[in-house]
Amino acid sequence: MRIGFHVSIKGSIDQAVDRAIAKGYTTFQIFTGNPRQWTPRKLASEEVEAFVEKVKTSDIDPVFAHMPYLPNLASPKEGGHAKSCATLNAELRRCSMLGIQNLVTHLGSHLGAGKRTGQKRIITAINQAFEDANEDVILLLENTAGGRNTVGDSFENIWSIMQGLTYPERVGICFDTSHAFAAGYDLRTFKSVEETIQKLDETVGIKKLKLVHLNDSKGNLNSRIDRHEHIGLGKIGENGFRNVLRSRLGKLPLILETPKDTRRSETENLRKVHELA
């Protein structure tokens, strides 16, 4: 399995590779800057070169980046939407500079303007970013848990967005198991996992699936609650993850975003995944 966690870039961005190697990850995910700021610090050429070289000489492949928290691509507010578009543009360029081929993005909230309006705003943002940042980076659209005003809680919803894109070949899917379960996609039995995969294939297409965020869910099936849990300790449960890991989903790169608390460490979650697989 290609498996890892979201890793800190504290100090310099190349140190994320050191941390991933030290923990035995074969893939990992990062923010390229402070996720709580609109304008990230400029990356020094030395750390960019070190990042690229360290990844190249390691067994880690692929590497993923994640969009920061503040952007909302679905926002109906002109100012916020413009800043979100600029951030997406900048992140695509930073990924290209670092040799990162995949950038994960949340689809955001329509803030009460309606799902269709939110979809149109996302389409505009992505099309604009692809025109401005002509980089060879795949943008991965992440499914959501379906909370209030969110966009992207169903495969059909994501497919509607993809249909409006000028460059659909530059877009893929990041499938979050916790979000999917909260949105109503059952992952507890082998049959329900296969049915979910079939639904995804019939809409966006299984070839578009590039990454799995492997997280258990604190909320029940169709709860619309976006709260991650340690592997096997949530409502999907150990048997659910056995079925997920033995399906086609288990053959994709797996990034864990489990809680940071005293109940279980990242190493223990990693061990649990290998045990269930």
Tokens standing for residue 148: 């209030």
Is 228 part of a structural domain of the chain? yes
* Positive/negative CA dihedral, 51, 53, 56, 60: negative
**Residue 63 parent element (H or E):** strand 63-66
Is 131 part of a structural domain of the chain? yes
Q: Which domain holds residue 176?
A: 66-276
Is 208 part of a structural domain of the chain? yes
Distances (CA, A) of 163 to 34, 168, 270: 32, 7, 36
* Positive/negative CA dihedral, 65, 140, 165, 207: positive
Is 107 part of a structural domain of the chain? yes
Tokens standing for residue 22: 């030290």
User: How far apart are alpha carbons 125 and 86 in whole angstroms?
Assistant: 9
Is 95 part of a structural domain of the chain? yes
Question: pLDDT (tens digit, 9 = 90+) per residue, 191-206?
Answer: 999 999 999 999 999 9
Whole-structure pTM value: 0.97
Cβ-based neighbours of 276, under 8 Å, separated by 6 or more: 231, 232, 238, 241, 242, 245
* Positive/negative CA dihedral, 119, 121, 126, 131: positive
Catalytic residues: 36, 66, 69, 106, 142, 176, 179, 213, 226, 228, 257
Tokens standing for residue 227: 């709260």
Is 243 part of a structural domain of the chain? yes
Looking at residue 195, what is its pLDDT? Answer: 98
User: How far apart are alpha carbons 204 and 264 in whole angstroms?
Assistant: 35
How many other C-beta atoms lie within 10 A of the C-beta of residue 246?
A: 14
* Positive/negative CA dihedral, 180, 184, 188, 194: negative
Residue 104 is part of a domain; what is its CATH number? 3.20.20.150
Structurally, the chain folds into a number of domains equal to: 1
Is 18 part of a structural domain of the chain? no
Question: pLDDT (tens digit, 9 = 90+) per residue, 26-79?
Answer: 999 999 999 999 999 999 999 999 999 999 999 999 999 999 999 999 999 999
Is 2 part of a structural domain of the chain? no
* Local confidence pLDDT in tens for the 277 residues of the chain: 999 999 999 999 999 999 999 999 999 999 999 999 999 999 999 999 999 999 999 999 999 999 999 999 999 999 999 999 999 999 999 999 999 999 999 999 999 999 999 999 999 999 999 999 878 999 999 999 999 999 999 999 999 999 999 999 999 999 999 999 999 999 999 999 999 999 999 999 999 999 999 999 999 999 999 999 999 999 999 999 999 999 999 999 999 999 999 999 999 999 999 999 9
User: How far apart are alpha carbons 170 and 139 in whole angstroms?
Assistant: 6
